[in-house]
Structure formats: C-alpha cells, structure tokens
C-alpha cells in the first residue's frame, strides 16, 4: 500500500512522494488522514529558505523536509501496547501531510463527533495562539492590539475578545483580511494604510494606548513601529516568528517605557500538566473543540482553500507567489 507524502526536496521544490505506510510502534496509532492544514507561515519560510543560514530555522528546516503539523484522521490500527478502543476514533495530531501517519497515542486528541473536519483542522493554529494569549497574560478589562491578520492574527483577535479584553484592535493593510473579523463591539478593525494605529487606539480606548500588543506579521522591519501602540509598562508578545535580524533600540523601546517583551513560541507549552499550569497543547486543543461545540468560535470564514493532496505542488507555488490572497489552506486526503 502506498503512502503519498508531501516533501520539500530543496528550496522552492514540492513533490508528492510515495513512501512506505508506517508500522505503529507499541505506543502508537496508525492514522489514515482525512484533512491537513498547510502552515502558510512556517512551511513557506522553510520552502522558500527565507531565513539566515545560522538561525534556529536552519536547524529544523533541513531538506528533504517533510511538511505539515496539523492533521485530522481516523485511527485504523494500534501498537500492541495501546488500547484498541482507539481504533475508529477521529483524532487531531501533529502529523505531517501524508495519507498514513503513525503517532504516539499520548499525542493524539479525540475530536468530538459534531465538529466537522474543516473546523477541527485548525486545532494546531488555535493551540499556538492560546499559548501566546496566556503568555501575554491578557486579562478582563484590558485592551489588546494584534498586528497582522493572517490565521494566527485572526485567532488572536478572537481569543483576546473571548478572554475578556475591553477592546481588541486588529491591524492589517488588507481590507479583505479585516473583513474576516467577527462583527463584535469589542473588536475594532484598523487598516494601517489609512489610519494610524496609535491614534485609533486612543480614540476607542478612553484616550489610552494598548495594554498588550501581539506581533503576528512575521516582518522584522515592522517591530519597532509596533511598540508605538503600547502604554508605558505594556507587554509586547512575539506570537509570530520574525525571519531575520531587527534593528532595535533597547533604551527607547524597552528600558525607558519599561515594556515587557514576551516570546510565545508554541514550544513554551508545558510538556506535562501540573497544578500550577494545566494548559498543555492537548489542554488547549480540547478547549478549542469546546469553543467550537458551544458556537463561540466560527472557523468557516477562515478556510479559503480545500483541495486534493495531489494538487499540493501547484498550491504551494501559488502561496509562494502571493499568500496574502489565501487564508486557511487544507489538503484533502479522503
């Protein structure tokens, strides 16, 4: 039996490679994929080799690179030390873009029956953002500003509003992305080509700048200007992974205003649940599914493309040319 798998042999190269169907290890599940979500941030950065040769990116962006980390599928078999009740379960895993994958049972999250694949497939993005919101310590009555309204930014705006932010200012330069925001009183869209974010924040926030800012553009050249939206002693959260060096004045942009700068890579999730912090990746995925079941999050506007996996080379080519015209992009393995 063949196992089509999406592979980047080198920069700007994408192939659907036939590989062997994996045998599940004793503690693993064998999963038949249904849908997987392309990361238009991480995957395109690696595909385009758009990172410094000595950066952290280079340590895990090696070719040939097997892409993908947001997979929805059905458990078809289990390892001999794994409970066979897993068989037939629909699960969310960080498995790659492949027709068949093997994943540790401990790393799989069961998807509630009423949630469609097209909504569940956003679980990894949701978990990344939830972790960033927690690290940014957004609290009831505060104001937040989100710079960049790709998938991460769209979820950041929604989760800030859900956790009680008085105002959430969502900033982008594309009206199409701004139009995808929920129509809620707390969420204020700002087109940075038309309006100055700092002025807009003061206008809609009782004359005050934001308590916390989320950088989600990934553009290192924008970082310095984004601090202008923060009040003194505010928090600046790097939810994106900016590619390349930045020029940064630590006196003017950190010490003098006493800003707190917070890294929020998803790897800062705790490995295990503790009484002090129960919000592991799995904990966030389950919370996301609960929000979907309750109707408190609507992902339908965020899935812009869903295509057969065979079309992956052309899809990635289009994304490299212009990813701004796409939002959530999923590959169908059914």
- In this predicted structure, the answer to whether residue 222 has a pLDDT above a threshold of 90 is yes
CA dist., res. 306 & res. 35, Å (int): 9
Q: What is the mean pLDDT of the chain?
A: 94
Instruction: Using DSSP bridges, classify how beta strands 328-332 and 28-38 pair: parallel, antiparallel or unpaired.
Output: antiparallel
pLDDT digits (tens, 9 = 90+) for 251-286: 988 899 999 999 999 888 988 888 888 999 999 999
pLDDT at 178: 97
Query: Range with the lowest mean pLDDT among 192-201, 212-221, 235-244?
Result: 235-244
Question: CA neighbours within 13 Å on the CB side: how many for 246?
Answer: 17
Domains and CATH numbers, the chain: 2-122+299-332 (3.90.180.10), 125-268 (3.40.50.720)
The answer to whether residue 53 scores a pLDDT higher than 80 is: no
Residue 163 in this model has a pLDDT that exceeds 70: yes
d(CA 234, CA 241): 20
Residue 216 makes CB contacts below 8 A (sequence gap 6+) with 146, 147, 148, 149, 150, 152, 153, 156, 239, 240
Mean pLDDT of 2-14: 96
What is the pLDDT at residue 57?
Answer: 61
Is a pLDDT exceeding 90 seen at residue 248?
Answer: no
Q: Which of 36, 33, 92, 100 is nearest to 67 (CA)?
A: 36
Structure tokens that stand for 9 in this block: 């042999």
Query: What pLDDT, in 10s, does the model give residues 80-135?
Result: 999 999 999 999 999 999 999 999 999 999 999 999 999 999 999 999 999 999 99
Is 153 in contact with 173 (CB distance < 8 Å)?
Answer: no
The percent of residues above 70 in pLDDT, for the chain, comes to: 97
Residue 160: pLDDT band with limits 50, 70, 90: very high
Question: Quick one: average pLDDT of 127-147?
Answer: 97
Q: In angstroms, rounded to a whole number, what is the distance separating the alpha carbons of residues 317 and 170?
A: 29
Q: What is the pLDDT of residue 58?
A: 66
Q: Do the Cβ atoms of 3 and 60 come closer than 8 Å?
A: no
């Amino acid at each position: 039996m063949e196992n089509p798998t999406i592979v980047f042999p080198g920069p700007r190269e994408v192939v659907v490679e036939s590989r062997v169907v994996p045998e599940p290890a004793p503690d693993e599940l064998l999963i038949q994929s249904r849908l997987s979500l392309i990361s238009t941030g991480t995957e395109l950065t690696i595909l385009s080799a758009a990172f410094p040769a000595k950066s952290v990116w280079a340590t895990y962006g090696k070719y040939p690179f097997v892409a993908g980390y947001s997979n929805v599928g059905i458990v078809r078999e289990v390892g001999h030390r794994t409970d066979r009740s897993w068989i037939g379960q629909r699960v969310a895993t960080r498995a790659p873009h492949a027709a068949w994958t093997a994943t540790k049972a401990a790393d799989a999250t069961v998807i509630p029956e009423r949630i469609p694949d097209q909504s569940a497939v956003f679980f990894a993005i949701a978990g990344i953002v939830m972790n960033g919101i927690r690290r940014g310590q957004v609290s009831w009555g505060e104001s937040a500003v989100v710079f960049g309204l790709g998938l991460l930014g769209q979820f950041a705006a929604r989760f800030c509003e859900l956790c009680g932010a008085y105002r959430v200012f969502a900033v982008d330069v594309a009206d199409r992305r701004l139009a995808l925001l929920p129509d809620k009183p707390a969420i204020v869209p700002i087109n940075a080509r038309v309006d100055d974010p700092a002025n807009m924040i003061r206008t809609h926030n009782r004359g005050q700048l934001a308590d916390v800012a989320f950088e989600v553009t990934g553009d290192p050249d924008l970082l310095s200007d984004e601090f202008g939206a923060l009040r003194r002693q505010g928090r600046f959260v790097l939810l994106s992974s900016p590619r390349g060096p930045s020029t940064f004045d630590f006196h003017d942009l950190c010490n003098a205003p006493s800003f707190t700068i917070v890294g929020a890579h998803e790897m800062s999730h705790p490995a295990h649940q503790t009484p002090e912090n129960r919000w592991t990746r799995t904990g966030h995925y389950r919370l996301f599914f609960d929000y979907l079941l309750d109707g408190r999050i609507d992902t339908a506007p965020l899935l812009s493309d869903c295509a057969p996996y065979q079309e992956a080379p052309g899809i990635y080519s289009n994304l490299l040319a212009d990813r701004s015209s796409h939002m959530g992009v999923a590959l169908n393995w059914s």
